[in-house]
Amino acid sequence: MSEYKKKFVLDEERIPKAWYNIVPDLPEPPAPPLNPATLQPAGPDDLLPIFPPSIVAQEVSAERYIEIPEEVHQIYRLWRPSPLIRATGLEKALDTPARIFYKHEGVSPAGSHKCNTAVAQAYYNKLDGTTRLATETGAGQWGSALSMACQTFGLECKVYMVKVSYHQKPYRRSMMQLWGADVVASPTDQTNAGRAVLAEDPESLGSLGIAISEAVEDAVTHPGSKYSLGSVTNHVLLHQTVIGEEAILQSQDADAYPNVVVGCVGGGSSFGGLAFPFLRENLAGRAKTRLVAVEPTACPSITKGAFTYDFGDEAATTPLFKMYTLGHDYMPPGIHAGGLRYHAMAPLLSHVCNLGLMDAVAVRQTKVFDVAALFAQTEGIIPAPESAHAIRVAVDEALKAKEEGVARNILFNLTGHGLLDLSAYDAYLSGKLEDYDHPEEEIAASIARLPKVE
């Protein structure tokens, strides 16, 4: 164990010099986004009002590798390479022959993987002359990561925070404010999108879809401003591939190349980032790693949703993307405590699942919190509830290995720590969490309301 750690912790040489774009290696290209008015493929021109040119170039890039600028690399070095840790305590508790490893992304300044793309996006916006970024945040991880990155590069930052979280997660708000951001509870009365929601329901607790609509509207109506997104899009998945590239080197160093790679999926960026470099190895015939995306039964976009064109936001203002979706008017139930609430899944990750190159499973939240507690008790680290979805499936895989009596290397993504999610743990400890399966009829009804494209 000690020898294993010495080999690579804090070795700067292990931070990749380039991000990996999986698009040119896929057996079929992903379907293009469509302009909702013309239903014609949306090109760079459709994206330029909201994103700066260098980000748009990455969004549509067909280059296999994109160099990480030195300025970004330098900031990555504050916490990267993130450690790859063997969960020996958890293995012992499970009495499994499997070896369980986790990539610990909770060591970043804001406490999650989201800093990997926040820093890159702030850098490119600065380079292209943006002075101010607008964004949305649900539980606050993305907003805090972007606030930190904007502070680093001297950009203003406006964050539309989903109202229910704004009140439930005051410390995330404090972090953003400490890093200089202007944080408001969405829906607000500052945008047309927000006012429309409030007119219908003055008590609205907000949703990620509503907050996205507000932030996009803000960006296009304020000079010098652009919009920034923390997941879902191709460029975000691209930036997150530092996770997978590091994990490949580290697992080779540890002589423990994974048989199974597991990650939670909300918008799909952290798992795309971990899994795509491993998928490259699979596609090149160098490995046969099983890739498993884990989602909550309360928001089962891949396992129960439709693979079809839908909007990225509640107000139906974004281009149409072909992706697994529950319908853009999906509202997460109040009882759901584990995050991962986005109505759809990254188009690139959706495409990979649809091609059969990645598996997906949905898990119930009480079972997720059970293993979150077990992980905290055996490994010391309190995981983000989102990350605990991956722990659930990693544990199930380890128990299966025990049943079958086979040794197997399991790697999962610990996307963040849970030190600011203790209210969810309180709900768990006091027995208030209930399981919820999003009803199929509701999904079907929502899908039926979508624009007919094909």
Ligand X SMILES: *Cc1c(COP(=O)(O)O)cnc(C)c1O
Binding site for ligand X (CB under 6 A): 112, 114, 141-142, 231, 264-271, 340, 384, 386-387, 415-416
Using the minimum distance from each CB to ligand X, give the nearer residue, 155 or 294.
Answer: 294
Please answer whether residues 292 and 34 qualify as being in contact, where contact means their C-beta atoms are separated by less than 8 angstroms: no
Nearer to ligand X by Cβ, of 96 and 140: the residue is 140
Nearer to ligand X, 331 or 414 (CB): 414
- Residue 268 or 305: the one with the smaller Cβ distance to ligand X is 268
Least separation, in Å, of the C-beta of 391 and ligand X?
12
For residue 161, the minimal CB distance to ligand X (Å) is 13
Measured from the CB atom, the residue of 153 and 342 that comes closer to ligand X is 342
- H/E stretch holding 306 reads strand 306-311
**Separation between Cα atoms, residue 199 and residue 194, nearest integer Å:** 9
* Token digits of residue 83: 């450690």
Asked if omega into 187 is within 30° of 0 (cis), the reply is yes
CA distance 422 to 217: 33
Nearer to ligand X, 254 or 342 (CB): 342
Residues 6 or more apart from 445 whose CB is under 8 A from it?
327
256 vs 381, beta carbon nearer ligand X: 381
Helix and strand counts by DSSP (H, E) for the chain = 19, 14
CB of 371 to ligand X, least distance (A): 15
User: Is the link from the previous residue into 83 a cis peptide, with omega within 30 of 0?
Assistant: no
Q: Cα dihedral angle (274, 275, 280, 284), rounded to 10 degrees? A: 130
What phi and psi, each to the nearest 5 degrees, are found at residue 341? Answer: -100, 0
Do residues 137 and 160 lie in contact, with contact meaning Cβ atoms separated by under 8 Å?
A: yes
- Specify the DSSP element, H or E, that contains 412: strand 409-414
> Which of 142/309 has CB closer to ligand X?
142
Rounded least distance, CB 3 to ligand X, Å = 30
What is the smallest separation between the CB atom of 111 and ligand X, expressed in angstroms? 7
Q: DSSP per residue over 229-295, as a string?
A: -SSSSHHHHHHHHHHHHHHHHHHHHTT---SEEEEE-SSSHHHHHHHHHHHHHHHTTS---EEEEEE
Taking the complex as a whole, how short is the minimal distance between the CB of residue 138 and ligand X, in angstroms? 8
Residue 425 CB, nearest distance to ligand X (Å)? 14
Chain position whose Cβ is nearest to ligand X: 416
* Smallest separation (angstroms) from ligand X to the CB of 402: 27
**CB of 139 vs ligand X, minimal distance in Å:** 7
> CB-based contacts of 56: which residues, under 8 Å, 6+ apart?
44, 47, 48
Q: What is the DSSP letter of 224?
A: T
Residue closer to ligand X (CB basis): 120 or 265: 265
